[in-house]
Amino acid sequence: MRKLYLDQKVWSVREEFTIYDDREQPVYRAQGSLFKIPKHFDILDLQDHVVASVTKRPLHFLSSFDLEIGGQLVATIQKQFSLVKPRYELVAAGLSVTGDFWDMNFTVSRYGQVIGTVAKRWFSVGDKYEITIQDDTDSLLLVGLVLAIDYVKRQAQAAANSSSTGN
């Protein structure tokens, strides 16, 4: 079992994150595209090589993202229609996501077996998430999932803020 901490850099125009291990050593960093359509995040290793990417699919009514690891499409993250709290579907062989997306506390399972959990850390500057991973081979999958859901959540909050100030 491994823990990673995804820490958003405050005041970053590009939406940048540093991913640390439980010894507070950097493992990856994630960097969002700047003024690019569709929105895109690269996950880079310590040598700045792209090891995974998350790309928003353009022209979808509900947000949808493709997660590629090593240049191969491994999952699609789709927001589902919901009136109360957001719901997401992880389209990949045997994967499912359950829990509270609005508060960013959820579990990811493969064929009914938990492969990881995500918990938002409250009372921190910027967004910070704790990711518990059962098998290290699923690290990039879980990091990519958190990036996509965090982006959709921030977009929804920005839209709500702009509509409430426009009245």
Alpha carbons within 13 A on the beta-carbon side of 134:
9
Query: Could you tell me where the beta strands, DSSP code E, fall in the chain?
Result: 2-8, 16-21, 26-32, 40-44, 50-56, 64-69, 72-80, 87-91, 95-100, 105-110, 113-121, 128-133
Amino acid at 142: L
Per-residue pLDDT at 118: 93
Question: What is the C-alpha separation between 166 and 138, in angstroms, rounded?
Answer: 43
Q: What is the pLDDT of residues 13-23, one digit of tens each?
A: 568 899 999 99
Q: What is the pLDDT of residues 56-89, one digit of tens each?
A: 888 767 778 899 999 999 988 887 777 776 667 7
What predicted TM-score, i.e. pTM, was given to this entire model? 0.84
**Average of per-residue pLDDT across 106-121:** 91
Per-residue pLDDT at 83: 73
**Average of per-residue pLDDT across 128-145:** 93
**Average of per-residue pLDDT across 93-102:** 78
Which band of pLDDT confidence, cut at 50, 70 and 90, is reported for residue 25?
Answer: very high
Question: What is the C-alpha separation between 76 and 14, in angstroms, rounded?
Answer: 22
β pairing state of 72-80 and 87-91:
antiparallel
Per-residue pLDDT at 94: 84
**Average of per-residue pLDDT across 16-34:** 93
Could you give the percent of the chain with pLDDT greater than 90?
44
